[in-house]
């Protein structure tokens, strides 16, 4: 997701994943926590295949990352931040 969000790889999205509104987060303090580049997961449908879409598999992990990892300027900085976060 890092490469797509920073323009290192490109995808011709039919519908790009929407940014997550801070008001749509569950819980009392979820609107003020997390980084500013959060994305929304597609709503579940009757189609079981949609659960395996790339965006639905990685967005929860992406939203849980630390701000330092998200705001990295290079792929290596992102990987190092990701290793430190885990």
> 32-72 pLDDT, tens per residue?
566 677 777 766 666 666 667 777 788 888 888 888 888 88
Q: Residue 58 carries which DSSP code?
A: H
What pTM does this model have? 0.58
* Neighbouring residues of 23: CB distance < 8 A, sequence distance ≥ 6: 31
The answer on pLDDT for 6 being more than 60 is: yes
Look at residue 27 in the predicted model and tell me its pLDDT: 58
Structure token pair of residue 63: 């939203």
Residue 52 lies in domain: 2-85
Q: 10 vs 25, which has greater pLDDT?
A: 10
Cβ 81 vs Cβ 68: under 8 Å = yes
Q: How many domains does the chain have?
A: 1
């Amino acid at each position: 997701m890092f490469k797509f969000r920073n323009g290192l790889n490109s995808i011709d999205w039919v519908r790009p994943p929407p940014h997550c509104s801070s008001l749509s987060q569950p819980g009392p303090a979820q609107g003020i926590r997390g980084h500013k580049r959060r994305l929304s997961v597609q709503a579940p449908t009757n189609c079981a295949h949609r659960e395996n879409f790339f965006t639905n598999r990685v967005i929860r992990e992406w939203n849980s990352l630390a701000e330092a990892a998200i705001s990295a300027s290079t792929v290596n900085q992102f990987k190092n931040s990701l290793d430190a976060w885990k």
